[in-house]
């Protein structure tokens, strides 16, 4: 045990070895840090950074998916499985595990071992890795808090503040950790708004990866439409939900170079959680949907919900299967949509519907856990109203444009 004098001596020693005294000099790093938070210069920089984010995501995911994994699954895995699978091609086991015996690609086969594995490993995994890699670099470099400051004014319009950018961006990877990240916001009102709008309007990385594959030309418009919905619903909720929306007080760290070991460790933690949460849900989702197809439940539901789907939303009644799957995994649902015959506009509406329709089951559980029963029911009410109004609105736009 040290007495008081010894403690002060120790403090002096540490201070002498760690603190440098001198005249403060404004460095280039400080000046760059300043201009990245000023709106006039910061917004163009943010556009460039987000462009870089997206361009890396597309190139990285495309390299693995289109470059190698599509070939691996379509030219080797699928033919091999179709040849060696022990059950006959007419059997229900074959239908569930391998899918359509005439399919020549894993995307359309829709068996658990074909489409299920292809979606998870072939499409979603590269997208998730690319997304988290860039996100971690932005986090560790110190740019993310600056983005929070920059976007603070805009987010105040929807009852949130700059730090809401953290769950929003995290949500582009996966809605589940994003729901937990909503705790970063101070009040109950802010947390409720954030959880609700991210669960409805932000597509996860898995879904983005599949969207890029299924509707590459229109994915930009879909995201723009979802982004508009994010702000519209946020604005409405901020007006009707009681509670406070306090100001943001944020300590901004200086810019620093991310270290390989930190980036690697974080990337491993985040992607490994994808393996444990996503893979079982995707594989289970394919089994359930194939069983529902075999037992005729999908046809029955499609007939029952047909008038609503084609009348109100303007999409084919066959999309009902994808909407059921969407409750388990949204990426799988978008993949299933690609196998349904429809126009380009119907495809965009279907993808939007899958995105804003019930969040996946894992996000559902998080909404309940984080918001309690009352918050969960509130989010659910907002969700049902949004699906009908926003989905119908898109159909109306197509009608007015004369394409529906």
Angstrom distances, CA of residue 125 to CA of 68, 173, 218, 223, 275: 13, 11, 22, 21, 9
Q: Which residues does residue 99 pair with via DSSP β-bridges, in sequence order?
A: 110
Ramachandran region of residue 372, left (φ > 0), alpha (ψ -120 to 50) or beta?
left
Q: Is 344 in the site for other proteins (CB under 8 A)?
A: no
Q: What is the largest CA-CA distance in the chain?
A: 87
Q: How far is the CB of 249 from other proteins (least distance, A)?
A: 25
User: Which H/E stretch holds residue 243?
Assistant: none
Closest distance to other proteins from the beta carbon of 357 (Å): 28
d(CA 358, CA 334): 14
- Position among 6, 27, 262, 272 found at the interface with other proteins (CB under 8 A): 27
Smaller CB distance to other proteins: residue 74 or 318? 74
Near other proteins by CB under 8 A: residue from 11, 14, 15, 31:
31
Interface mask (CB under 8 A) for other proteins, residues 171-210, using x and -? Answer: ----------------------------------------
Least distance from other proteins to the Cβ atom of residue 74, Å: 10
What's the CA angle centered on 83, arms 80 and 91, to 5 degrees? 125
Site membership for other proteins, residue 32 (CB under 8 A): yes
Q: What DSSP assignment string belongs to 81-124? A: HHHH-SS-TTSHHHHHHTB-TT-SSHHHHB-IIIIIHIIIIIII
Q: How many residues bind other proteins (CB under 8 A)?
A: 29
Q: Is 93 in the site for other proteins (CB under 8 A)?
A: no
The reply on whether position 26 binds other proteins by CB under 8 A is yes
256 lies in the site for other proteins, by CB under 8 A: no
Our CB check for other proteins shows the closer of 20 and 26 to be: 26
Tell me the closest approach of the beta carbon of residue 48 to other proteins, in angstroms.
Answer: 4
Q: Which stretch binds other proteins (CB under 8 A): 20-28, 138-146, 227-235, 266-274?
A: 20-28
Q: Residue 104, interface with other proteins (CB under 8 A)?
A: no
In the complex with other proteins, which residue's Cβ is closer, 143 or 235? 143
| Distance of closest approach, residue 220 Cβ to other proteins, in angstroms | 9
Q: Which of 236, 190, 226, 224 is nearest to 330 (CA)?
A: 226
Residues 292-331: x where in contact with other proteins by CB under 8 A, - otherwise, as a string: ----------------------------------------
Instruction: Give me the long-range contacts of 24-33 (CB less than 8 A, separation at least 24).
Output: 29/254, 29/255, 30/254, 32/255, 33/142, 33/146, 33/252, 33/254, 33/255
Give me the least distance between CB of 52 and other proteins, in Å please: 4
**What values do phi and psi take at 99, rounded to 5?**
90, -145
In a 10 Å sphere around its CB, with 0-12 CB exposed, 13-18 middle and 19+ buried, how is residue 41 labelled? middle
Nearer to other proteins, 36 or 386 (CB): 36
The least CB distance from residue 18 to other proteins, in Å, is 25
For other proteins, the closer CB: 33 or 368: 33
Compute the 3-state secondary structure of the chain and give helix, strand, coil in percent, each to the nearest 5.
75, 0, 25
Which one among 10, 11, 35, 294 touches other proteins, defined by CB under 8 A? Answer: 35
Count H helices, E strands: the chain? 21, 0
Contact characters 52-91, other proteins, x per CB under 8 A: x-xxx-xxx-xx--xxx--x--------------------
Instruction: Give least dist CB 122 to other proteins, A.
Output: 14
What Å distances lie between residue 226 and 128, 154, 202, 390, CA to CA?
A: 20, 16, 7, 10
CB of residue 45 to other proteins, shortest distance in Å: 6
Please tell me whether residue 255 binds other proteins under the rule CB under 8 A. Answer: no
Residue 41 interacts with other proteins (CB under 8 A)?
yes
Distances in Å between the Cα of 36 and the Cα atoms of 13, 51, 115, 168 are 38, 16, 44, 20
Min dist. Cβ of residue 63 to other proteins (A): 4
For residue 54, how many other CB atoms are within 10 A of its CB? Answer: 14
**235 part of the interface to other proteins, by CB under 8 A:** no
How buried is residue 278: exposed, middle or buried, by Cβ count under 10 Å (0-12/13-18/19+)?
buried
In the complex, the residues that contact other proteins under the rule CB under 8 A are: 26-28, 30-32, 34-36, 41, 44-45, 47-49, 51-52, 54-56, 58-60, 62-63, 66-68, 71
């Amino acid at each position: 045990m040290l007495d008081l004098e010894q403690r002060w001596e120790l403090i002096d020693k540490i201070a002498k070895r760690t603190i440098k005294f001198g005249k403060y000099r404004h460095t280039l790093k400080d000046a760059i840090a300043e201009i990245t938070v000023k709106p006039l210069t910061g917004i163009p920089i943010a556009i460039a950074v987000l462009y870089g984010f997206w361009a890396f995501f597309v190139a990285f995911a495309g390299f693995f998916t289109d470059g190698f994994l599509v070939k691996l699954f379509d030219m080797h895995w699928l033919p091999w499985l179709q040849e060696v699978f022990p059950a006959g091609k007419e059997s229900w086991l074959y239908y569930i595990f391998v899918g359509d015996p005439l399919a020549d690609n894993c995307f359309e086969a829709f068996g658990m071992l074909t489409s299920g594995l292809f979606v998870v490993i072939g499409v979603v995994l590269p997208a998730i890795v690319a997304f988290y890699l860039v996100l971690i670099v932005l986090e560790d470099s110190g740019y993310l808090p600056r983005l929070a400051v920059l976007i603070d004014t805009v987010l105040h319009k929807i009852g949130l503040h700059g730090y809401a950018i953290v769950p929003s961006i995290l949500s582009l990877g996966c809605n589940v950790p994003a729901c937990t990240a909503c705790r970063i916001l101070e009040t109950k009102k802010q947390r409720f708004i954030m959880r609700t709008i991210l669960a409805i309007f932000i597509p996860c990385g898995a879904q983005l990866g599949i969207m890029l594959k299924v509707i590459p030309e229109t994915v930009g418009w879909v995201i723009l439409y979802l982004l508009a919905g994010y702000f519209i619903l946020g604005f409405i909720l901020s007006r009707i939900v009681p509670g406070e929306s306090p100001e943001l007080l944020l300590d901004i760290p200086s810019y620093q170079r991310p270290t390989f070991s930190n980036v690697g460790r974080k990337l491993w933690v985040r992607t490994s959680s994808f393996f444990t949460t996503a893979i079982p849900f995707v594989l289970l989702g394919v089994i359930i949907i194939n069983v529902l197809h075999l037992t005729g439940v999908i046809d029955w539901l499609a007939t029952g919900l047909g008038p609503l789907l084609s009348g109100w939303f303007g999409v084919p009644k066959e999309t009902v299967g994808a909407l059921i799957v969407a409750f388990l995994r949204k990426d799988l649902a978008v993949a299933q949509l690609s196998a349904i015959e429809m126009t380009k506009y119907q495809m965009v509406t279907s993808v939007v519907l899958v995105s804003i329709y019930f969040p996946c089951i894992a996000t559902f559980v998080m909404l309940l856990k984080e918001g309690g029963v009352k918050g969960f029911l509130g989010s659910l009410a907002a969700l049902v109203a949004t699906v009908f109004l926003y989905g119908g609105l898109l159909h109306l736009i197509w009608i007015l444009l004369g394409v529906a």
